[in-house]
Amino acid sequence: MKVVIVFESTHHGNTKKLVDDIATKNEVDLVDATEVNSVNYESYDIIGFASGVAFGKFYKKITSLAQSVPSGKKVFFIYSCGKNNKDFSQNICTALEGRGCVSLGSYGCSGYDTYGPLKLVGGINKGHPDESEVRGAVDFYISLL
Ligand SMILES: Cc1cc2nc3c(=O)[nH]c(=O)nc-3n(C[C@H](O)[C@H](O)[C@H](O)COP(=O)(O)O)c2cc1C
C-alpha cells in the first residue's frame, strides 16, 4: 500500500506535528501543499489530506489540490483546529466522495491558535497538539492500514 499525505500547516505548524510523527513511524510520503502545484496521485493507493482549519474548512490550497484526486481512490483526513467541536473534514470529504473517492475516516484535535483577537490574550490551546493528541493521530493512521 503506497500512501501519501498532502498537508498544509501554515498557522503554527500544529498539523505538521501530527503528520511528521506519522511519517517518522510509518512508510508514507509527505507533500507540503504550499510547495507544489499538483500531486501525482496515480502512484498512490491511499491519499491523506492534513490541514489546519480556517473559517470552518480545510485550508484553500489543500482543498484545491484535492480537486484532482482520481475517482475510486481511498482518502482520509487529519486536522488541527482552535475549537474541536465538530468534524471539520466534512466539506472536503463530501466533495471527494461526490467524485467517487472512498473515505476511510478522519482524525481531528486541538491546535495552538492565535488568530485575530486571540493573539491579544496569548492564544488558546497552547502546547497543542500535545503528546497524546500526536499519538492519537499515529494510532488513527495505523488503524487505516
Ligand atoms: C485565518 C484563521 C482562521 C481560523 N478559523 C478557525 C475556525 O473556523 N475554526 C477553528 O476551530 N479554528 C480556526 N483557526 C485555528 C486553526 O485551525 C488552528 O490554530 C490550527 O491548529 C492551525 O493549524 P496549523 O498550525 O497546522 O496551520 C483559524 C486560524 C486562522 C489563522
Q: What's the confidence (pLDDT) of residue 93?
A: 98
- Does any ligand 1 atom lie closer than 6 A to the CB of residue 137? no
Contacts of 115 (CB under 8 A, 6+ apart): 11, 82
For residue range 46-105, what is the model confidence (pLDDT) as tens digits? Answer: 999 999 999 999 999 999 999 999 999 999 999 999 999 999 999 999 999 999 999 999
Structural domain span for residue 104:
3-144
- Does any ligand 1 atom lie closer than 6 A to the CB of residue 30? no
Q: What's the confidence (pLDDT) of residue 83?
A: 96
What's the number of domains the chain is made of? 1
For residue range 118-129, what is the model confidence (pLDDT) as tens digits? Answer: 999 899 999 999
Q: What DSSP element (H or E) covers 22?
A: helix 14-25
Q: What's the confidence (pLDDT) of residue 76?
A: 98
- Does any ligand 1 atom lie closer than 6 A to the CB of residue 11? yes
CA–CA dist 72, 70 (Å, integer): 6
45 — phi, psi (to 5°)?
A: -85, -35
For residue range 89-100, what is the model confidence (pLDDT) as tens digits? Answer: 999 999 999 999
Give the three-class secondary structure for 39. coil
Which ligand 1 atom is at minimum distance from the Cα of 80? 21
CATH of the domain at 122: 3.40.50.360
Mutation probe of ligand 1 site: the residue of 18, 19, 53 with most atoms within 8 A of C-beta: 53
